[in-house]
Structures are given as structure tokens and as C-alpha cells.
Structure 1
Amino acid sequence: MFAGSAGRSSAKAAVHAVALVLALAAAPLSAQKTIGLRAGIGSATLSGANLDARGASAFDAPRYGIAAGVDAGIPLSGALGARIGLGLAQKGGAVKVPPSISASRSLTESVAQIDYVQFSALLRAGTAAEEGRLNFGFLAGPWVAFNLSCQVAVTTVEPPPIRPEVPPGIPNRVGAARVTGAATGSARAGSAQDTDVACGEGGVSEVKSTDFGVAVGGGFQVKLTDSLDLAFEVIYARGLSEIDDEGKKTNHVAFQSGLVFAIG
């Protein structure tokens, strides 16, 4: 499912992204104007140009997880500012189980669960807060993420047996259901078995330890007091590096809300 070999270009780009984050974070503390605490839900998928050619499973169904973090807002010029963030991003994807199944086979659903700690350095352009209680803004910039854990959760489903035809002498299907239920009991119900396989074990190969990309988004803040805002935003993070040798890249959409505190 996953295979990993650290590419030089990916590592070099990741180092550059980290350097950018550290450079912005090194701005004087007196220039920091806000601290934001945000949390919400994320929807993640995996994509890649080489999936079909390699015969790999496309994890293009969403995996839902937690998105949470803390950030520091630094004013730059007018309504333009920088936002340095650190947070948890649960990425990966799922393989859909076909909606129609046959009783003669079992079906397997796989969910790639790849969790990252993610650093971001975003520019925010929006309306000035003093113009009203609402402050709208747009975000864009690079991010770099470091892998915390990786596994594939596999659920194998054994469908129930096909319902037999109505036996002779039974007037309707209600009677047939009673006879079948009495004969088979709980065997009519399907069964499921869950298995978690760590990346690098049990036929699941490793992913790279880092990922990087760009993020864009937008949202608004509602002023509650002179030093406290309520924030809502949507951010899309697109991975630019291949996390394995099958060409998979991460996609993540975070729907977040939180509190923003003015500190200077």
C-alpha cells in the first residue's frame, strides 16, 4: 500500500520550509499581536498520478479526524499580517466498500491513518479589525509536517447468507422469514473483523517522515470584547511532496473555530 524512500528534493524542500517558519517565528515578540486557539474537524484524502499505473489502491474517500492548533499573529503592514501556526493534522484517506455486495465473498475496507504535527507560515490579508465587529480575511502560505504515526485500519466484512426461496407450503414471505430465522438464528447477521497494521509491517510499507505543501483558506472573526475574537475558518492544505514511491500526495480540508486573544 505504501512504500517509502526519502528523496533528496523532498528533503531539501522540507528544510527550506522549516527555515521559512523559523525565520518568521524569530520576529520580535513585541510585534506579536494575537494568539489563536483553534480546533475542528478535518477531511483528508490521498491522491497521486502513479496510483493507477502501479495498481495501488486509491485512498480517495475521505478520512475524518481532528484538526487543532495554536498560532501567533504578527502584523506586517496595514491589513496584511503573518500567522505562525503549530497543530495536529490527521491525514490519510479511505477506500470505499462497494454499495452492493454478494453473499459469496467478503469485503475489505481500508483506512490510511497518518497523523502529523504541522508547522505553517501563512500570510493573512483582510479587513482592518477597527472597521467593525466582523473581520474577514484570506490566508495563504507554506507548511511542513512531521509524521507522528502511520497505520492502515482494515475492516473485513462477512455478509450474511442469501435469504432462501419460500419453501413449498408456506403461504407468504413473513412465514418464510420466521422459518429461516428459527433455523439459522444469529447466523443471518453479517460479521466484521478489525485489524490495525502499522506502516512498515504486515505488507504495509513505510511513508516518509516529512511532508510539505501550500495552504489556502479564508474565514472571519467576530469581536466579542476589545481583546477577544471568535473565529471561524476553512483551510485547504495541498501536499506537494510524494509521501511514498507510488506517488501519493496528501489533501486536507480543515473546518475550524476558536478564540483569538489580542496580546499587544
Structure 2
Amino acid sequence: MRRIVTSLLPLLIPLLIAAPLMAQTTLGFRGGLSDATVSTDVEGVPDQDARRGVVAGLDLSFPVGGTVELRIGGAYVQKGTELSVDLPSEGIRGSGSIEADWVQASALVRIGTPRDSGASFGLLLGPWAASLLSCNRSLSVDAGELGSVNESASCDDVTKSTDFGVAAGAGVEMAISDGLRLGVDLIYSLGLANIDDTSTEDTKTRHVALQAGFVIPFGG
């Protein structure tokens, strides 16, 4: 937890300082659930299931013209994947997981309807960059008469420490009171970097998050 806070502080402090100085800005506190997988060129990769995780962070939005806003944010994001192998003819069944936790910064353009109409609907698009906090992998294989294998280990040394990509999504904000709004977003993040530090074959992150939180207006 201390490492997460330490990683987020360089992103969050400028946002908190800038918020009172900028008119018509909003400060958002958001959290939610996510599904993550990876795409890879590596042959023979077992079937994938999504890793269920969480996302939590805060962001600062300010207008850049009309109903267009720039949302700058920082968040703790859980990515990775779940793997499974089922070879009944050979008597082999197994599963594995890769759990990679990141601190992620983003700059998303939001194009939406005016907030003075009550509910504001918007589309989000922009780049993101992430720094690896930790990576762990686990494997469990039952080979019948040949025995079983259960092991887990860190994968920090085979995972690149940075990642980047683009994100797109949609969301809605609804007024709860004069100074508080409820926001709900669905955002898909597409990794563009190869995060495998041991191979030239691409392994890239995929992540979708459903998040909700409170949005506080500042300024005019």
C-alpha cells in the first residue's frame, strides 16, 4: 500500500494544487472492477480467462472549449490474465495466473453534453502510461499418475517496468446536489508496448474497467 501511495503522489500533488486555481474544473474520485487479459504472438499459449481485479484513482478535468474537457488522472490498476489447460486424453489439467499491478497515468479527452442539463453523457479517448508495481505468477498442474505441480514466483524480472497505450470509453455524470455529482464510466485500455522483457514476440495488456465515483466541481 505504501508503494502505491508513493507512486501516485507525483501524479496527484500537481492535480490537487492546480484544482483551486482553475475555473470550471472538477475533481473526481473513482473506483471499480476490471477484467484484464494479454494478447501475445507466442505460440502454444493456453486458453485465457480474464483476471478480475480492481481500479482506484482520482482525476482532474478542465474545459478546453465548448463541451470538450481534458481529464488528467492517476490510478492503481490490476492487470494480468488467467490461463487454463485441459488435455483429458493425456490426463493433464492445469491452471495459471499472471497478476501484474500498475500505477497508471492518463490524459483523456471527454466530449459530452452540457452538465447543466442534469445528466451529462460523454465519450472518452486518450493516451495512458503505466509503471509496474509488482508482478506475480502461479501455476497448478495435475498430471494424474505423473503427479502434480504447484508453484508461484515473482515475474518482476521478466516484465518490463513501463507500459503505454490508448484508452477509449463512455460515461455519464448525474447531479446529486449543487456541489456533488455521481460519475459512472466504462473504459477499455489497449496496451501498445511489449511488456515481455525476455522475448521479441509481443505480449501486450488488455484491460476493461467499470468504475463509479464522486465528482466535485471547482471554480465557476
TM range (shorter): 0.7 to 0.9
Q: Which has the higher strand share?
A: 2
1:43 and 1:214 mapped to 2: Cα distance? Answer: 16
1:247 and 1:58 mapped to 2: Cα distance? Answer: 16
Task: Give how far 1:154 is off.
Answer: 1.7
Query: Is the CA contact (8 Å cut-off) linking 1:221 and 1:232 kept in structure 2?
Result: yes
Match of 2:159 in 1: 207
Matched AA of 1:255: L
Task: Give how far 1:193 is off.
Answer: 7.0
Task: Give how far 1:105 is off.
Answer: 3.2
Scaled by the length of structure 1, the TM-score of the pair is: 0.69
By relative contact order (CA 8 Å, sep 6+), the higher-ranking structure is 1
SS in 2 for 1:51: coil
Query: Is the CA contact (8 Å cut-off) linking 2:140 and 2:149 kept in structure 1?
Result: yes
Q: How many residues align?
A: 202
Task: Give how far 1:107 is off.
Answer: 2.0
**CA distances 1:164-219 after superposition (whole Å, capped 9, x unpaired):** xxxxxxxxxxxxxxxxxxxxxxxxxxx9875321116xxxx611000000000001
Is 2:23 the counterpart of 1:68?
no
Which of 44, 58, 79 is the matching residue for 1:91?
79
Query: Is the CA contact (8 Å cut-off) linking 1:59 and 1:111 kept in structure 2?
Result: no
1:115 and 1:154 mapped to 2: Cα distance? Answer: 18
Which of 146, 153, 160 is the matching residue for 2:138?
153
Q: Trace 1:51-66 onto structure 2 (pairs within 5 A).
A: 51-52=42-43, 55=44, 57=45, 60-66=48-54
Matched AA of 2:122: G
**Which runs of 5 or more structure 1 residues have no equivalent in the other structure?**
1-20, 162-190
SS in 2 for 1:211: strand
Task: Give how far 1:226 is off.
Answer: 1.2
Q: Trace 1:165-184 onto structure 2 (pairs within 5 A).
A: none
Root mean square deviation, CA, Å: 2.7
1:59 and 1:226 mapped to 2: Cα distance? Answer: 49
SS in 1 for 2:151: strand
Is 2:9 the counterpart of 1:40?
no
Decide which structure has the larger Cα Rg and report it. 1
Query: Is the CA contact (8 Å cut-off) linking 1:46 and 1:58 kept in structure 2?
Result: no
2:168 and 2:59 mapped to 1: Cα distance? Answer: 16
Query: Is the CA contact (8 Å cut-off) linking 1:51 and 1:58 kept in structure 2?
Result: no
Query: Is the CA contact (8 Å cut-off) linking 2:30 and 2:58 kept in structure 1?
Result: yes
1:192 and 1:79 mapped to 2: Cα distance? Answer: 59
Which of 170, 174, 178 is the matching residue for 1:226?
178
Is 2:91 the counterpart of 1:135?
no
**CA distances 1:34-79 after superposition (whole Å, capped 9, x unpaired):** 111111111001002x212xx4x25632111011111111111111
Matched AA of 1:76: V
Match of 1:262 in 2: 217
2:120 and 2:76 mapped to 1: Cα distance? Answer: 25
Is 2:22 the counterpart of 1:31?
yes
Identity %: 36
1:263 and 1:216 mapped to 2: Cα distance? Answer: 25
Matched AA of 1:211: D
SS in 1 for 2:194: coil
Scaled by the length of structure 2, the TM-score of the pair is: 0.82
Query: Is the CA contact (8 Å cut-off) linking 2:121 and 2:173 kept in structure 1?
Result: yes
SS in 1 for 2:84: coil
Query: Is the CA contact (8 Å cut-off) linking 2:46 and 2:84 kept in structure 1?
Result: no
Match of 1:16 in 2: none
1:254 and 1:193 mapped to 2: Cα distance? Answer: 33
Matched AA of 2:77: A
Q: Which moved more, 1:213-222 or 1:239-248?
A: 239-248
SS in 2 for 1:130: helix
